[in-house]
Amino acid sequence: MAEVVIVENAAAAGELVAESLRSLIEARPDAVLGLATGSTPLPVYSALAASVHRTPLDVTLVRGFALDEYVGLPEGHPQSYRAVITRDVVEPIGLTPQNIQVPNGNLETIESAGRDYEQAILDAGGVDVQILGIGRTGHIGFNEPGSSFASLTRVKTLTEETRADNARFFSSPDDVPMHCITQGLGTIRRARHLVLLAFGEAKADAVAAAVEGPMTASAPGSAIQLHPHVTVVIDEAAASRLANLDYYRHAWANKPAWQGI
Ligand code: PGA
């Protein structure tokens, strides 16, 4: 079962997860982080950056793999996930840019890009902690409903709902790419620890489907139920449709002190 932690707000979630990432990096300076984009994980990255500046920590060996990328954006496009990860994660935390990989959405090499990315993750020894957001469609990464639980990194077509959600980052909704390249649900499930974050009422149905719903490709987030180590960090609004809320609170309140998330 996923451990469900209900926090007061996104900032508290950021602190909690950043502290866990810090401990991981202290123990394993070349830890491999799985990096999500979108608004949800930003508090984690800013809390980790603040922690690293407050109490210095060598993060130069840390490695990272982004979950996904748009296909066909010109190189250097400010909304490409390569640019977003550089701006929101690499620079503030002080990671080494060459250690951070993002799926290659360049059309010229797109046919082999998925395979190459899988190989790079394997070569790195796999992902230690995968940070995840969840879309209103229930997607994790860009694995839209219908994605196989065994899927690996490949090109997907975005749903119109996801394109509309992401239109806020582009000057016009039509500018949101139609295709993306995303780690598959099978790729994500190979990470050693999954940390899924969600905030706000708009995510409540997707969270309930992921944590408590039937496992189905129609709710890609429900793939987390197959994973032995999952932490779901959510606010009250995102938790509002969970049936076993009392139990999650009880388990968290009585968590053994020696156990991290
Ligand atoms: P968001 O996106 O964090 O911007 O809400 C989450 C997602 O689409 O996975």
Domains of the chain, CATH where assigned: 3-259 (3.40.50.1360)
pLDDT in tens, 120-158: 999 999 999 999 999 999 999 999 999 999 999 999 999
For ligand 1, residues with CB inside 6 Å are 38-40, 133-135, 139
What is the b/e burial string over 143-167, where b = at least 16 CB atoms within 10 angstroms of the residue's CB?
bbbebebebbbbbbebbeebbebbe
For the cut 90, the answer to whether the pLDDT of residue 63 exceeds it is yes
Sign of dihedral through CA atoms 231, 235, 241, 247?
A: positive
- Determine the pLDDT at residue 257: 86
| Token representation of residue 200 | 């706000």
CA-to-CA distance for 189 and 153, rounded, in angstroms? 12
Task: Out of 40, 160, 170, 203, give the residue to mutate to test ligand 1, the one with the largest number of ligand atoms within 8 Å of its CB.
Answer: 40
Task: Out of 39, 180, 232, give the residue to mutate to test ligand 1, the one with the largest number of ligand atoms within 8 Å of its CB.
Answer: 39
- Spacing, Cα 135 to ligand 1 middle (Å): 5
Closest C-alpha to ligand 1, atom 7: 135
Task: Out of 44, 134, 170, give the residue to mutate to test ligand 1, the one with the largest number of ligand atoms within 8 Å of its CB.
Answer: 134
For the cut 80, the answer to whether the pLDDT of residue 1 exceeds it is no
- Give the torsion through C-alpha atoms of 111, 114, 117, 123, to 10 deg: -100
- Determine the pLDDT at residue 201: 98
CA-to-CA distance for 7 and 15, rounded, in angstroms? 10
pLDDT in tens, 239-252: 999 999 999 999 99
Q: Has this prediction a pTM greater than 0.75?
A: yes
Cα 173 to chain centroid distance, Å, stands at 23
pLDDT in tens, 65-107: 999 999 999 999 999 999 999 999 999 999 999 999 999 999 9
Beta carbons of 28 and 128 less than 8 angstroms apart: yes
Closest C-alpha to ligand 1, atom 4: 38
- Spacing, Cα 112 to ligand 1 middle (Å): 26
- Spacing, Cα 128 to ligand 1 middle (Å): 21
- Spacing, Cα 256 to ligand 1 middle (Å): 31
Residue 140 CA, closest ligand 1 atom number: 9
pLDDT in tens, 15-62: 999 999 999 999 999 999 999 999 999 999 999 999 999 999 999 999
What is the b/e burial string over 215-238, where b = at least 16 CB atoms within 10 angstroms of the residue's CB?
eebebbbbbbbebeebbbbbbebb
Beta carbons of 238 and 199 less than 8 angstroms apart: yes
- Give the torsion through C-alpha atoms of 152, 213, 216, 21, to 10 deg: 0
- Amino acid found at 112: S
Beta carbons of 215 and 185 less than 8 angstroms apart: no
- Determine the pLDDT at residue 259: 85
- Spacing, Cα 136 to ligand 1 middle (Å): 8
